[in-house]
């Protein structure tokens, strides 16, 4: 990742993160969930007011990776006691497998360890073989598989993966 830079998300970049999320989701999820569910989840998780509130909350942290000077990826984590949830980690399809995801994951791990978290965990769609393989490569293991009701008539059929810190 020699030509990419990583920094904490700024308020001015919230819209760019939402736009990148749509690109990544449209490249990843149509084979796994309906377009209606994609639209609902993007609208909820990347609403500007929600993201701005998270920037003001010390239990949340966002990072952005940029490459020449485009936004290439981002991550979001939430601290809950001694657990830290890797809530989002997405890299633009044109920049995948170039170390950006690994750099974002390291930033999350460092942040979580500084806050005495003992476990990093995440949810990943059971059908997202590429993401599952990537997380396994970084030491995560599947600890549970569940269906989560997310409202609006939709569910997430996910593996829960964890990594001791």
From the list 94, 91, 62, 64, the residue with the least C-alpha distance to 78 is 62
Tens-place pLDDT, residues 59-76: 999 999 999 889 999 999
Tell me the torsion sign for CA atoms 66, 67, 72, 76. negative
Given a cut of 90, whether residue 3 has pLDDT beyond it is no
Residues 15, 46: Cα–Cα separation, whole Å? 9
**pTM recorded for the entire structure:** 0.94
Question: How does pLDDT run across 120-143, given as a tens digit for each residue?
Answer: 999 999 999 999 999 999 999 999
Give me the architecture of the 4-117 domain, per CATH.
3-Layer(aba) Sandwich (3.40)
């Amino acid at each position: 990742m020699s030509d990419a830079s990583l920094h904490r998300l700024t308020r001015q970049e919230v819209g760019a993160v939402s736009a990148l999320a749509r690109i990544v989701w449209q490249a990843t999820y149509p084979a796994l969930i309906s377009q209606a569910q994609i639209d609902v989840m993007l609208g909820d998780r990347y609403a500007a007011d929600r993201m701005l509130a998270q920037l003001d909350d010390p239990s949340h942290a966002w990072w952005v990776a940029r490459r020449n000077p485009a936004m290439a990826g981002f991550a979001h984590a939430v601290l809950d006691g001694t657990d830290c949830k890797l809530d989002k980690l997405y890299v633009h399809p044109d920049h995948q497998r170039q170390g950006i995801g690994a750099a974002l994951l390291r930033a999350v791990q460092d942040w979580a360890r500084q806050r005495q978290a003992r476990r990093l965990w995440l949810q990943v769609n059971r059908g997202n073989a590429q993401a599952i393989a990537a997380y396994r490569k970084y030491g995560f293991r599947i600890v549970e598989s569940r269906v989560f009701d997310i409202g609006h008539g939709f569910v997430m059929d996910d593996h829960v993966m964890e990594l001791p810190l």
